[in-house]
Amino acid sequence: MRLLFLGDIVGRPGRAAIGETLPSLRERWRLDCVVINGENAAGGFGITEAICDEILAAGADAITLGNHAFDQREALVFIEREHRLVRPATFPAGTPGRGAAMVETITGARVLVVNAMGRLYMDAMDDPFGRVEEALAACPLGVGADAVVVDFHAEATSEKQAMGLFCDGRASLVVGTHTHVPTADHRILPGGTAYMTDAGMCGDYDSVLGMSKEEPLRRFLQKTPGARLEAASGAGTLSGVAVETDDASGLALRVAPVRLGPHLAEARPDFWE
């Protein structure tokens, strides 16, 4: 199976890059499943129903979220009827939505998408390891699902690496989101799980984490309240990770970074080109 995971969409540049590039990538790379983190898609803060529909129409099979999941209040409502929109399983019981979802590919294969949020340097949430364990146990790789993708939305690289090892052999891919900077540690862990500490973002990299440079810089220099952060408006870059899995086991055979657009060195899976 061919899986593509794309990091946090930040504002209009990220959405434009998805809309302009993803449809052709699906065809050229013959992708079976695309998962995208969309928690910053609405101007950098949350996601709206219209934007969710736009991302799905461009070719995403599932959208994961993070700490900005409900910055747009309408998400509290439409997440209940859109099963392909997945918020962190670590939100308290009773939070609208779901922390895991099963999506079906065009070939009928089943892909379990799990979303969790870290606790180091983040808002206090439920234990991410416990919530991920519940999802993996309820739908084991190779039994209940043909592939398993875990999006771990976390700040600390140590916590992300620990989650990768925790899931090794039980997931096709464990990938980190949230820090918006792609890491260079893509690899297949000893048990067969593809891993990358952070997928980076889909957005304008001529920015501070996808936001217009002026206000973040001013805050660092002056340490005083100021204007609201605004998403940058330049050309967007797609950033993420590509994984090819074994059809029998669901474990990873190949993994490669994906970076398509300005400002970053281009990277693409040569085993699909």
Boundaries of domain holding 250? 2-260
**Would you state the pLDDT for residue 226?**
87
pLDDT of residue 67: 96
Encoded tokens for 227: 């204007």
Strand ranges for the chain from DSSP E: 2-6, 8-9, 33-37, 62-64, 85-86, 100-104, 110-117, 147-153, 173-177, 187-188, 194-196, 201-202, 238-245, 252-260
What is the rounded average pLDDT of the residues 91-95? Answer: 95
272 falls within a domain: no
Report the mean per-residue pLDDT for the chain.
97
CATH number at residue 194: 3.60.21.10
Residue 222 located in a structural domain: yes
Among residues 139, 91, 92, the alpha carbon closest in space to that of 115 is found at: 91
Asked if 210 and 233 count as a contact pair (C-beta separation under 8 A), the reply is no
Strand blocks (E) in 46-129: 62-64, 85-86, 100-104, 110-117
- Does the annotation count 83 as an active-site position? no
- pTM of the predicted structure, to 2 decimals: 0.97
How many residues make up the chain in this entry? 273
Q: List, for residues 129-142, the tens digit of each pLDDT value.
A: 999 999 999 999 99
pLDDT at residue number 225: 85
Model confidence at 108, pLDDT cuts 50, 70, 90, reads: very high
Q: Decide if 26 is inside a domain.
A: yes
DSSP assignment of 248-259 equals TT--EEEEEEEE
Query: So what's the pLDDT on residue 48?
Result: 98
Mean pLDDT of 206-217: 96
DSSP 208-256: BTTB-SHHHHHHHHH-S--SPP-B--S--BEEEEEEEE-TTT--EEEEE
Q: Catalytic residue among 68, 153, 178, 186, which?
A: 68
User: Could you report the per-residue pLDDT of 10-22, keeping only the tens digit for each?
Assistant: 999 999 999 999 9
Say if 268 falls within a structural domain. no
What is the domain count for the chain?
Answer: 1
Helix (H, G, I), strand (E, B) or coil at 25: helix
Q: Give tens-digit pLDDT for 132-168.
A: 999 999 999 999 999 999 999 999 999 999 999 999 9
pLDDT score of 127 = 97
Residue 232 lies in a domain: yes
Label residue 226 exposed, middle or buried (CB < 10 Å: 0-12, 13-18, 19+): exposed
Tell me, yes or no, whether 265 lies in a domain: no
Q: Kindly tell me if the per-residue pLDDT of 256 is higher than 90.
A: yes
pLDDT-derived band at 273 (thresholds 50, 70, 90) equals confident
Residue 190 forms part of a structural domain:
yes
Question: Buried (b) or exposed (e) across 188-204, using 16+ Cβ within 10 A?
Answer: bbeebbbbbbbbbbbbb
What does the alpha-carbon distance between residue 1 and residue 30 come to, in Å, rounded to a whole number? 9
- In a domain? residue 266: no
